[in-house]
Amino acid sequence: MSADADIPQDEIDLADSPDSPEEAEVVHFHFQASKTQTRRIDQFLTDRLPWLSRSAVQRLIEDQLVKVNAQPTKASYKIKTGDVVDMVTPPQPVNDLAPEPIPLQIIYEDEHFLALNKQANLIVHPARGRWTGTLVNGLAHYGQKWSTVNGPWRPGILHRLDRNTTGIMLVAKSDEAHWRLARQFENRTIQKTYLAVVQGVPPLLADVIDLPIGKDRYAREKQAVRKLENGGRPAVTTYQVLQRLAGGGREFSLVKLLPKTGRTHQLRVHMSAIGHPLVGDSMYGGRPLEADGFRFERQALHAYEITFVHPGNLQTVTLRAPIAEDMRELIARLGGSAV
């Protein structure tokens, strides 16, 4: 991909493309300004990278992905002659969402919405240069009637699960159903229940974790417990130990998790914060489990149950997703039984 396609050369000397497949999800720009600008840097960059909104550019600046003369900058900064601007951005999106025959385990479906059991190693929607192989590519192949509220790249998507988290998801078919379900998510009246296998046994077999969560200061892709004054946002999780497990001389627990808020990686961060990270969750301190040829190295987290008000008949509905086979085997090998 050419990173300097739409940028006048009198303002930019050089633009770099990623050097390796691992970096292909972002594009690296290296600007050298030939003249002083009268506009703020966020406006300047938005004009030159039309696939990014101004708010998106401001988020990149906040995340220190835009630097002037190798130093973080502010959105209000005005570029001066000779300034060197380095920027890391998502690539320009493709124009069409390609339908793909990705297997979908449908749990429930009517004219208003669909509920499915998401498998592991599946990203929910295109992002950061990943335009194929996502859940919405599979939805585009499965059917064409999805809500348009979140735009063409997230048809019907009401909420997300992490790439390697399995379990139940709702997908809206109409805009009306989308708004009615989204309002429940916003008002936190939807009850979600997760199952996880964690390292060790918490000293309290049931408790509430009330720890604010924000972006990790050192790793952009991670979240961390942060004080509210340092950028954390309120986050509350209730947990209950369902079974004590053991294997390889180590203790484990099968726990039920009920998030009261919906922060990114909340359950993974909270369990790690109390000293009991999820099995296989290497990002937050969990270790893979390997025994007798069996290896479990994704986070052992499954969205098991969801309770909400049906957007059509307004009746309370509870739906469950069967536990993924690899997590079921993990629990069995540790001497437990899947719910």
Catalytic site positions: 162
Q: What is the Cα 132 distance to its own chain's centre?
A: 16
d(CA 85, CA 31): 5
281 DSSP 8-state letter: -
Q: What is the Cα 175 distance to its own chain's centre?
A: 23
Token couple for 183 = 């309002």
d(CA 258, CA 94): 37
Residue 328's identity, in one-letter code, is R
Three-class secondary structure of residue 47 per DSSP: helix
d(CA 24, CA 46): 21
Instruction: Quickly count helices (H) and strands (E) in the chain.
Output: 6, 18
> Cβ–Cβ contacts within 10 Å for residue 298, how many?
22
Task: Name residue 236's beta-bridge partners.
Answer: 210
Q: How far is CA 220 from CA 93, 161, 214, 283, in A?
A: 22, 19, 11, 12
d(CA 269, CA 267): 6
Closest CA to 198 of 258, 269, 266, 251: 251
> In this structure, which long-range contacts are made by residues 14-17, counting pairs with CB atoms below 8 Å and at least 24 apart in sequence?
none
DSSP H or E stretch at residue 86: strand 84-89
Q: Using the Cα atoms of residue 101, residue 104, residue 109 and residue 113 in order, give the sign of their dihedral.
A: negative
